[in-house]
Structure 1
Amino acid sequence: MLRLLDLENQHCSLKLVYTLSDALKNDPERIKLAQELTLDESRPHMGLKGRHGLFGSDEWWNSIYSKKMKLKFVSGVISRTYYSGMDSDRRNNAYELTLADGSLHQEGFYYNDTKDKYLYEIGKKVLIVYAQDELKKDNGRGKYSETPIEIAISYDIVPLETKPANKLLQRIKKSFAFFTR
């Protein structure tokens, strides 16, 4: 099977812990419900547009691997794990990534094998690729549904690699330094 994430050139060893294709093999109902909502014209504000094929179909997967559908790649280091939700199970099930530019990205734990949930630890590098599938209607949060396609986590703790601040941020810092003298 094709892979979207580059696990080889990362300066650390990574394990692919989640693939949507494996998750969907165990949950065909998810495909059925998503496709039904896409095709339901009585719900014009709900579901996917289907421009790149129905969710989970061969056409949809071909749109992802040929990169006709927009993809979003995220890479960072886990800076926090936490519990998210309202159920009675209060174990950590979400994490925050610090990205190279210093911004933060939140995501839930995804794994195909339950023993891999223990890889979600502070200091581990995470790579994620999302399919950005168009929604029928912009719901105020953006016009795309972001579905994780693959997630990989490093075996070991890694240092956060940050990029130098952009020029605007450098100018702002210089301005504040002037006022604090």
Structure 2
Amino acid sequence: MYHVFSLRKYLEDNPKDVLMTQKVTLNEKKTNLGLNGTYGLYGSDEWWNNINNNIFPKKTIEGRILRKYITGQDENIFNTIDILLGNGVVFSEGIYFNNKKDIKLYDEGVNIKILYIYDDRKAKDENGMHLKSKIVYDIYINL
């Protein structure tokens, strides 16, 4: 399978995204916005170590791309796919890639594997538990 998206590569290429997330996390006045920092400050060495040491909750899905389509206001670029999972459930996900040319790999009928990590948000549910932010970590497409 071809590694079409890596969060690590994305964050290395987009350090401003890391800084913006860290800024919101560290802003104590933003009690419902941003990550909580449970596993370390987003993008920090501690954060990456906790991912690598399987401290983060993770989930992997695998399936076949049923269709690709446009959501939102950008009318020129496919940005969403529907994936048929092995249990028959259809799951929608955004299209992520590290190399712009790889967008063409998201084609109907192609097998895909996505790894997610779950980080605690500052916001809490009615039971006082932190809501989770589902973060796309890796995407692989079968060529």
**Same-fold call, TM cutoff 0.5:** yes
Name which of 22, 27, 30 aligns with 1:40: 27
Name which of 5, 19, 22 aligns with 2:9: 22
Please tell me whether residue 130 in structure 1 is matched to residue 110 in structure 2.
no
Question: How many Å separate the matches in 2 of 1:91 and 1:126?
Answer: 19
Q: Which has the higher strand share?
A: 2
Question: How many Å separate the matches in 2 of 1:138 and 1:92?
Answer: 33
3-state SS of 2:29 partner = coil
**Counterpart contact for 1:95–1:106, Cα < 8 Å:** yes
Moved over 4 A (4+): none
3-state SS of 2:123 partner = coil
Please tell me whether residue 96 in structure 1 is matched to residue 107 in structure 2.
no
Greater radius of gyration (CA): 1
Summarize the Cα distance change of 1:39–1:107 in structure 2 as closer, same or farther, 3 Å threshold.
Answer: same
Question: How many Å separate the matches in 1 of 2:109 and 2:124?
Answer: 35
RMSD: 1.5
Please tell me whether residue 154 in structure 1 is matched to residue 139 in structure 2.
no
- Write the letter of the residue equivalent to 1:105: F
Please tell me whether residue 115 in structure 1 is matched to residue 101 in structure 2.
yes
Q: CA deviation digits over 1:37-65, x for unaligned, max 9? A: 11111010111010100111111111111
3-state SS of 1:79 partner = strand
**What TM-score do the two structures reach when normalised by structure 2?**
0.93
1:57 matched residue in structure 2:
44
**Counterpart contact for 1:45–1:139, Cα < 8 Å:** no
2:61 matched residue in structure 1:
74
**Counterpart contact for 1:130–1:148, Cα < 8 Å:** yes
Of structures 1 and 2, the one with the larger relative CO (CA 8 A, separation 6+) is: 2
**What TM-score do the two structures reach when normalised by structure 1?**
0.74
Structure 2, unpaired ranges of 5+:
none
3-state SS of 1:46 partner = coil
Question: How many Å separate the matches in 1 of 2:124 and 2:81?
Answer: 26
Corresponding pairs, count? 140
- Write the letter of the residue equivalent to 2:119: D
3-state SS of 2:17 partner = helix
**Counterpart contact for 1:97–1:106, Cα < 8 Å:** yes
Q: Percent identity?
A: 34
